[in-house]
Amino acid sequence: MPGFELFGDQEREEVNKVLDTGVLMRYGFDGMRKGQWKALELEAALCRRMEVNHAQLVSSGTAALTVALASAGVGAGDEVIMPTFTFVASFESVLAIGAVPVLVDIDDTLTLDPKAVAAAITPRTKVVMPVHMCGSMADLDALKELCDKHDILLIEDACQAIGGTYKGKPLGSIGDLGCFSFDYVKTITCGEGGALITNNETYKKHADHYSDHGHDHVGNDRGAESHPFLGYNYRISELNAAVGVAQIKRLDDFIAIQKEHYSTIRKALAGVEGVTFRRVPEGGEENYSFLNIFLPDEEMARKAHKALSEAGIDGCFYWFDNNWHYIKKWDHLKKATSLGKLPQDVLDNLPDHEGADFSASDHWMGRNISVLIKLGWDQETVASRASTMAEVLETVLKAG
Ligand SMILES: *Cc1c(COP(=O)(O)O)cnc(C)c1O
């Protein structure tokens, strides 16, 4: 998955164009910048590639989620439904604006179970936030139907799934807003960075102002700009945007490489009795950044994970025990441990995630192993990894 694997001349060239001008900020300094507007260039490229009208670059994927929520008018006490399997950033962004994260079960897609979402909707629900984990997507038609019925926003966290599609449309472009991360370990990287995309002109205007202290960006004197509403600083720098300008041109090549590697490994594992694969919703195509398999039970998954590691197969993740990606280890969220006092709306309405029954999520997470697909492997490496993995899994499954 990581774009950092293939950092090279194209990225260097774009960064040097910025260094030549010395203008590291995305706004202003028109006279000095010799026509270099890297953030604007990357936003235009994102609009083209994602088939949307608007994109707003920001400083991280977490910032993209926060700005997306704020731009759509989500605020204190509003509830945002999201999956138990995600990255901490998803609920961090919600808490950052004083809203309330409501975590619900996933299914065999490893993303939101639409039935669990339906059961969690209350009069306070403002957003459903599917997280397209490990390159594949939630059942977006089912979620959209629910959202339309209850007049709720759909905001896609597509930070791990850039380049994937659902019914022919790019992931991130299907909801009211969609968010990407360009941190250092994502499919394409800016070093640090993120973006939201939307077809809604008002949300774009809000995002543009909110991410830059509420500046209205009218005229060409920053000091004279007014602020129609309160904002914050979530700006990206031109240096980071420059890396992204080079990387997005390579996105389709990266996905093609991932698809080839993924397919080789999948074909080998498909022959192992007892191994099954994550369900991809009908009409969806992954971005092939991970291959996700299920073992028959938790014990077998643990044994398989250990055996793969002992056989020298790196990059296999057992998320069920992972600190960053699954609710089991999120005591700070469950106990609402923060440095200062949280907003009263959050304290009053945060669900009892500790006492909740997430056995349906445990069922899938406990059996899952996630295999990272790297860009840098050559064909020989992939073929040998695939056969080693198949052998290891066969041995584990035979032993029971
Ligand atoms: C990486 C990631 C984010 C946050 O992105 P940062 O750029 O690291 O802030 C949000 N959601 C998911 C699912 C992610 O994987």
Ligand 1 atom nearest to 182, measured from its CA: 7
Return the residue whose CA atom lies nearest to atom 6 of ligand 1. Answer: 61
CATH class of 252-399: alpha beta
At 57-107, the pLDDT tens digits run 999 999 999 999 999 999 999 999 999 999 999 999 999 999 999 999 999
Q: 54: CA distance to ligand 1 center in Å?
A: 20
pLDDT band at 329 (very low <50, low <70, confident <90, very high): very high
What one-character-per-residue DSSP string does 69-112 give?
HHHTT--TT-EEEEESBS-HHHHHHHHHTT-EEEEE-B-TTSSB
The stretch 101-130 carries a mean pLDDT of 98
pLDDT of residue 135 exceeding 70: yes
**Lookup: tokens for 88:** 């901490």
The stretch 362-386 carries a mean pLDDT of 96
Ligand 1 atom nearest to 160, measured from its CA: 15
pLDDT on residue 7: 84
pLDDT on residue 352: 96
At 270-302, the pLDDT tens digits run 999 999 999 999 999 999 999 999 999 999 999
Say if CB 105 and CB 78 are below 8 A apart.
no
Q: Mark whether 186 is an active-site residue.
A: yes
pLDDT of residue 55 exceeding 70: yes
pLDDT of residue 380 exceeding 90: yes
pLDDT of residue 116 exceeding 60: yes
Q: Kindly list the distances between the CA atom of residue 70 and the CA atoms of 98, 223, 230, 298, in Å, as whole numbers in the listed order.
A: 10, 24, 11, 39
Ligand 1 site residues (CB inside 6 A) read 60-62, 86-87, 89-90, 131, 157, 159-160, 181, 183, 194
Ligand 1 atom nearest to 60, measured from its CA: 7
Say if CB 255 and CB 231 are below 8 A apart.
no
Q: Which residue out of 186, 204, 334, 374 is catalytically annotated?
A: 186
- Exposed, middle or buried: residue 20 (CB in 10 Å: 0-12, 13-18, 19+)? exposed
CATH 3.90.1150.10 in the chain: give the residue spans: 252-399
The stretch 251-278 carries a mean pLDDT of 97
pLDDT band at 209 (very low <50, low <70, confident <90, very high): very high
pLDDT on residue 1: 57
Q: Does domain 3-250 have CATH number 1.10.10.1150?
A: no
pLDDT on residue 309: 97
pLDDT on residue 275: 97
- Number of residues assigned to the chain: 400
Q: 29: CA distance to ligand 1 center in Å?
A: 31
The stretch 234-257 carries a mean pLDDT of 97
List of residues 6+ apart from 206 with CB closer than 8 A: 70, 71, 72, 73, 229
The stretch 155-182 carries a mean pLDDT of 98
CATH 3.40.640.10 in the chain: give the residue spans: 3-250
Say if CB 2 and CB 375 are below 8 A apart.
yes
pLDDT of residue 197 exceeding 60: yes
Share of the chain above pLDDT 70, in %: 99
pLDDT of residue 215 exceeding 70: yes
